[in-house]
Structure formats: C-alpha cells, structure tokens
Structure 1
C-alpha cells in the first residue's frame, strides 16, 4: 500500500504519477481547445507532435528515476491526452482529492485506478459536484494551503476558470488545521498572455523559502503583494508576461535543492544555481504549447 504524504511543494519526492503523451490522439479541432495557448497552436499549425512530446516526457521520467523516485504512468487510453496528471487529482497531507474537472476528462482518472487501488479507500476524497477544483490551483506549503481561484460573474463562460469559491470552502472544511489563502487569478479564453490557467502558471514555491512569481497573473494586487512579503523580495524570482506564457513558473521540485526545469529557461536556471540549487534541464517546449509544463505533468503521491 502507498502511504500518501505531501505537505509542501519541495520535500524529497518518493512516488509520483507522471502523465503520458503516448496515443495522444489527432490535433484537436479549434472548438475542442481547453485553453487559449493550445488554440493558438492549433490555428497556427504548430500544435506539438506526439513523438516530440513522448521524447520530452521520457526525459522527465529518466530524471525522476535517477533520483530514485517511484514513477507510475497512467494506463493508456487510445487517442486521449493524458499528459497533465496534476489536473485529475492531488494529494494534501495523507489524502488524495479527486479533481472535479472538465467532464470530457473523467476517463483520465479511471486510467490511474491501479494506483488508487494501492491507497486506502478512506484516504481518497471525492468532492461534491458543485466544487470545481484542479491540482494546478492547489499548493500545500507548510502551515498554508495556497489556492488559485476565480469568482467573477462570468465564471461559467470561461473554460479557463477551473477552481471556484466552493472549492476554497471545501478545502478549508476538509483541512481545518491548515491556513487557507486564496488568490484571484486573471483569466482569458482568447489571450494566453493574459491567462493564468492555474495558480502554478504564475507562482510556485522553490527550495525552502523562495518562489517564482508573475504579478499580472493576479487580479488583486494586494494578494500578489502578500506573497511577495511572505517570501521576501530577495527570495522571489519575478517573471515577465512572455516568461509566464512559456510556463517558466511551472518547473518541478524533486527535493528542496533539486529542480527540474526547461532547458530554455536560461534566466531562471542561472538564478536557481546562484541560489545553490541543482537544476536538471530537460527539453519540454513542445508540451508547453498546451499551456502546461513540468508541475502540470506530475501528481506527487509521497514526499519525505
């Protein structure tokens, strides 16, 4: 059996579900796009090829295995995009919460059933249907759970609005010993540079006391400033709109001193090394075209 344990974003990783790009299916039709960046690449004829994405994910798997991480992959569903395992479930403490996601993606959850069978039933939580939540919006960090949300009146018109206020309340009730801090995110169905699809598209903690942050991803300046003050300006790496667009905040920590990053993120990777972290650089720019990157592709189950 797996003993779930995830209390933060960076403790040494022991077990993870890494998505798969195999049998990814044909290029979606424009009306099938889940986000504005995918749509952009569908229309431009630059949507990523399956073999390129498979190669990128295998490079990620190799790094995880190098650090002794137990890596689970979803069972293959023919012609289905199963890259972003963070969207289907997430772990806080010793509980796995099933994400309430876009209905089309329910089948992806079934593809990790063999992993769920290794977890006690009492440790798996199925939120009620009014709770909309995805793992990219949820970050346990020490005493806190950080949650990205959107509560505008046009919530139901925005396919990019993934986590609602009901989800924030549900997580607060489920984890009463934690401090819940929610952040209103900027959403757009049509402009990828003005769309923070999830919290991890504009913010992520790194190491033990650092963070990557993009100001424009936050609708409320005070909420952005709260994070800046919490981590301390000298510990924060600020990214530009173009860097957010290339998913620079969506790296992935294997340990407090080990970060997996995209090889083109030169400015970030140099900063991380200056701060004493080991940076494992891999190619992941094709997958980034779907408005997701390294954190999105992982579902951590056990950290030390």
Structure 2
C-alpha cells in the first residue's frame, strides 16, 4: 500500500508520479489545442517532437532517481498526451483528490489506476461533474491551501479557466482545518502572455519561506498583496510577463534545499543559487511549448 503524505510543496520527496511523453501522438490540430501557447507553436510549425519531449522527461527522471525518489509512470496510451500528471489528481495530507479535468483527458486517470489501486479507497476523494479543479491550481503551504480560480461571469467561455468556485468550496468542505485561500487569475484563450493557466504558472513557494511570483498574473491586487504579506517582499522573486510565459514559476522542489529548474532560466537560477539552493538544471524548453513545465509533469504522493 502507498501511504500518502503531502503537507507542502517543498518537503523531502519520496514518491511521485511523473508523466510520460511516449506515444504522445501527432501535432494536434488547432481546434484540438487547450491553451494559447500550444496554438502559437502549432501555427509556427515549432510544436515539440515526441523524441525531444521523451529525452527531456528522461533527464527529469534521472534527477529524481539521483535523489532516491520512487518514480511511478503512467501506463502508455497510444497517441495520447500524458505529460502533465499534476492535472489529473493531487494529494492533500493523506488523501488523493481526483480531478474533473477536460473531457478529452479522462483516459489519463485510467493510466494511473495501478497506482490508485495501491491506495486505501477511503483516502480517495472524487467530486461530481459540476465541480472543477486541476492540480496546477492547488498548492499547499504550512496550514494553507492556495487555489487558483477564475471568478469572471464568463468562466465557461475560457477553456483556460480550469478550477471553478465550486471546486474551491469542495476543497474547503473536505479540509475544514486548513486556511483555504483562492486567487482570481488572469485568463486568455488567445494570448499566452496574458494567461495564467494555473496558479503554478504565476506563483510557487520554494524552500521554507520564499516564493516565485508574477504580480500581473492576479486579477485582483489584494490577492497579490496577501502573498506579499505572508512571505515578505524580500522573500519573493518577481518574474516578468515574458518569464511567466517561459514558465519560470513552474519549477519543482525535491526538498527545501533542492530545486529542479529549466537550464535556460538564468536569472532565476542565479537568484536560487545565491539563496543557497542546490539547483538541478535540465532541458525542458520543448515541453514548455505546451504551457506546462516541471511542476505540471509531477504528482507527488509522499513527502516527509
């Protein structure tokens, strides 16, 4: 049996589901794309190749193995994108919450059934179809659960709006002892630089008391100020619109000392090293073209 335990984003990782790029399928048609960044690369003819994405994920896998993390991979489904395992489920404390994701992606849950079968069924939480959340929007920090959402009345017009207020309420109901704080994110179906697809696209804690943040990713300045007050401005690394677009905030912590990042994130990597972190730099720029990066590719099961 797998005994789930995730209390935060940065404690020492022991077990994780890492997505797979094998049999990722052909370049999607424009109408099949879920986000503006993928659309941009489909139009430009620069959409990533399966081989490049497999080798990037293998580099990530090697780093996880280096730190003795138990890595589970999804069963491969032919011609199907299974890179972003963060979206399909997430662990809070000793429970796993299975997401209601876009209908086109439902098979991704089937591919990790063998993992779910090793978890006590009473620890698996599922929601009804009208309740939406994805793992990229849910972030744990001490006694907080941070949740990215979109509060606009036009929610249903945005394929980029993935977590609704019913989803926020569902988490509040299931975890009454936590401080659940939602953040209203900027969304765009057409402009990737104006779109915070998930909360981890514009914010993420690192170490014990620091975080990476993009102020303009929040529709409401009070939400941004909430985080400034919580972390202290001197502990925040502010990223530009272009750096958000490159996914600077979507790094992944193996512990509160070790962070996996994209090798080209020079300004961020320098700052992290200056703060005393061990920075494991890997190539991940091809996967970034699908508006997801390192955190998106992982689903932590056990942190101690």
Deviations 1:102-148 (A, max 9, x none): 01100001000010111000010011111100000000111100000
CA distance in 2, matches of 1:128, 1:140: 23
Deviation at 1:225, TM superposition (A): 1.1
CA distance in 1, matches of 2:127, 2:14: 26
Partner of 1:90: 90
Deviation at 1:153, TM superposition (A): 1.1
Partner of 2:40: 40
Partner of 1:270: 270
Deviations 1:230-279 (A, max 9, x none): 11111100000000000000000000000000000010011011111000
TM-score by length of 1: 1.00
CA distance in 2, matches of 1:103, 1:141: 30
Partner of 1:118: 118
Partner of 2:261: 261
Partner of 2:223: 223
Residue range with higher mean Cα deviation, 208-217 or 123-132: 123-132
CA distance in 2, matches of 1:127, 1:136: 17
TM-score by length of 2: 1.00
Deviation at 1:219, TM superposition (A): 0.1
DSSP-derived class of the 1:300 partner: strand
Q: Given the alignment of the two structures, is residue 27 of structure 1 paired with residue 22 of structure 2, yes or no?
A: no
Moved over 2 A (4+): none
CA distance in 1, matches of 2:234, 2:179: 24
Matches within 5 A, 1:1-304: 1-304=1-304
DSSP-derived class of the 1:296 partner: helix
Deviations 1:65-108 (A, max 9, x none): 00000000000000000000001000000000001100110000
CA distance in 2, matches of 1:34, 1:23: 19
Deviations 1:30-64 (A, max 9, x none): 00010000000001100000000000000000000
DSSP-derived class of the 2:51 partner: helix
What number of residue pairs does the alignment pair up?
A: 304
CA distance in 2, matches of 1:2, 1:65: 18
DSSP-derived class of the 2:106 partner: helix
DSSP-derived class of the 1:212 partner: strand
DSSP-derived class of the 1:159 partner: coil
DSSP-derived class of the 1:227 partner: helix
DSSP-derived class of the 1:301 partner: strand
CA distance in 2, matches of 1:106, 1:117: 17
CA distance in 1, matches of 2:185, 2:223: 10
DSSP-derived class of the 2:295 partner: coil
Deviation at 1:22, TM superposition (A): 0.5
List runs of 5+ in structure 1 lacking aligned partners. none
CA distance in 2, matches of 1:94, 1:106: 23
